[in-house]
Structure 1
Amino acid sequence: MTHAPQIRIPATYMRGGTSKGVFFRLDDLPEAARVPGPARDALLMRVIGSPDPYGKHTDGMGGATSSTSKCVIIAPASVPDHDVDYLYGQVSIDSAFVDWSGNCGNLSTAVGPFAVANGFVPAARIPREGTVAVRVWQANIGKTIVVHVPVSDGQVQETGDFELDGVTFPAAEIVLEFIDPSDDEGEGGEGLQPGMFPTGNLVDDLEVPGIGTLTATLITAGIPTVFVDAAALGFDGTELQPAVNDDKAALARLEAIRVAGALRMGLIKAPEDAATRQHTPKVAFVAPAKDYAASSGKRIAAAEIDLNVRALSMGKLHHAMMGTASVAIAAAAAVPGTLVNLAAGGGARDAVRFGHPSGTLRVGAAVALADGRWTVTRAVMSRSARVLMEGAVRVPGAVQPR
């Protein structure tokens, strides 16, 4: 019996924000995986180690959490005035599925340094000391992200004293600008509108089977997100992962809210479609500022934050906060009358600091009201990124795309 040898694919393992993933240059992938389809999905699942009924990813590069089961494909820009195309795949842990429906805001941070280090940015634009603005075309959602990459001695600067709650060690600060991050075109659906609020409302009455009617803010900025009040779910907004992830009934209620929100936003046509769109929308619950202890034991005082937010990713409470959901939080907080804005105390604001399970994060957004429609032109936050390992990833030849 003959055995196919493992194939070797150049790759870089990177942390971006509070996530990490396997980065590939498009041209380094096997030919059949350079285009969307089953061959690409099969390859990336095998890289990560999915599907894994044990939920450990022992035989792959994944970390068995939504924050660490990710792959990124980088290619030369297909859009003028950009440096790279960035395509993101969220790999399911226990099912044979790769979700391409949204972006990862945390890994967006690492795209800039990867682009600089791998020659996608012209050398003439890279200063000896300072920063270089890398214009990224986010191919999943068709949006521009500007990643301001620090440079030292002509190379990407990775070390520094910037501290990010949810990341153990300090690193160099990277500023992210999400340009026009709302859904301008809309994804369709009767009675829905393009822009930040697909229903046209700042607050909706959301009918959730088995739960009843909940007030919700449905927004498509950064990533489609369903915001609800923590108190309506029996939470106070200071919960850490075990309080939610160990409660199967709570997870089921939150998934029901996500499905109802997806239907109301026109993201899916039937409840069963939610299983093939696990990455979006997100569901998050908000509450007024309150003292709590973060997962590290660090004390967070109510006076330090404007509100508390907890969000779910791939069916589990996130250990910190997704970057794209942070954009949604910033945009919603800036619009008077949304649930996020009200939890933060109401009024006009261009920035907000919120508490999450690992600590706090400050995000800003510029919004405008024109012809009765809210738009967000820009959202800004600081993260960090670092190369963890580079070289080649190996996968069994049996999954080599044909």
Structure 2
Amino acid sequence: MTTATRGAKRAPAVLVLEDGRTFRGRAYGAVGETFGEAVFSTGMTGYQETITDPSYHRQVVVMTAPHIGNTGMNDEDAESRRIWVSGFVVRDPARVPSNWRSARTLDDELTAQGVVGISGIDTRALTRHLRERGAMRVGVFSGDALADDATLLARVQEAPQMKGADLSAEVTTQEAYVVPAVGEKKFTVAAVDLGIKGMTPHRMAERGIEVHVLPATATAEEVYAVAPDGVFFSNGPGDPAAAEHAVALMREVLERGTPLFGICFGNQILGRALGFGTFKLKYGHRGINQPVQDRSTGKVEITAQNHGFAVDAPLDTVSDTPYGRAEVSHVGLNDNVVEGLRLLDRPAFSVQYHPEAAAGPHDAAYLFDRFVSLMEGQRA
């Protein structure tokens, strides 16, 4: 929910959390008002990929790095057709971007797309508050939207919560499209778009995969109409407990025994399809510096993440599911959150992070090769 007007770049602005904590600064991007869930991202770079990630739909993103906007905005690094964050919060925006690929400033792009933001606030104090109190609803107000604190707080508390929100249909593609394989075509994959990032099908295409990206509403018949060698479930926003269609679709794929790979929201959907629960994290994992251990190799990866929900599965035991045995394959080293699942009797696995590495790091790129190996094994 965003309303905005152009101009008045340095107009007074205020950020109001649902518990009453208030931060005052200056407008950044569009002037107006916006509401969402306040979350923080720990990446020191990659803000263009962050704000265009559909997983951030209905969230107001706080950047913990103090200086944002240095490299401007370009026409190559966007992960989708538009900016998806509901609002953007920075401490010290760059006055002038300095990068040979920059086509315009971050401030101008936020304004052009009607994204209300705020700058000049203590983002460190705000981040500490969210770590202690948890992610919560927030409003950012500037220009004519400003009012007394009590009125603004009441409006924030009327905004919808993230828990229980089914949002994939709001961010998915409306029409199926194909990303052709680079070089020789080796496999066909049906990718269910729950909020997919553009780099993800590109990473598969680099491995000789022709990717058919399908809407989140796709049926099993539509998935199998493309004769897939594998099925992929993407990242996306919202509460997995509300994503009943995606869970039902994944169960049909599991029944058929087709190689399956899920990332981020897709990991949570696999968890629910297997019969595990999901729960909302206190403040989530967001950024490009999250340590995860691959339990099959013992290797530690630094990963890109964006999730506020997690799978509730036992870490140290193999679980019986309707589709055979399953185990936790990856675990977060900061808080022991489930970061991956693997079926032992069927060709299916998932991770809770972003191996497409946009923006960075590239430690988890091998997971696409693991998906290729599953499809090769099934074909053999």
**Could you state the TM-score of these two structures normalised by the residue count of structure 1?**
0.25
**Could you state the TM-score of these two structures normalised by the residue count of structure 2?**
0.26
Higher relative contact order (CA 8 A, sep 6+): 1
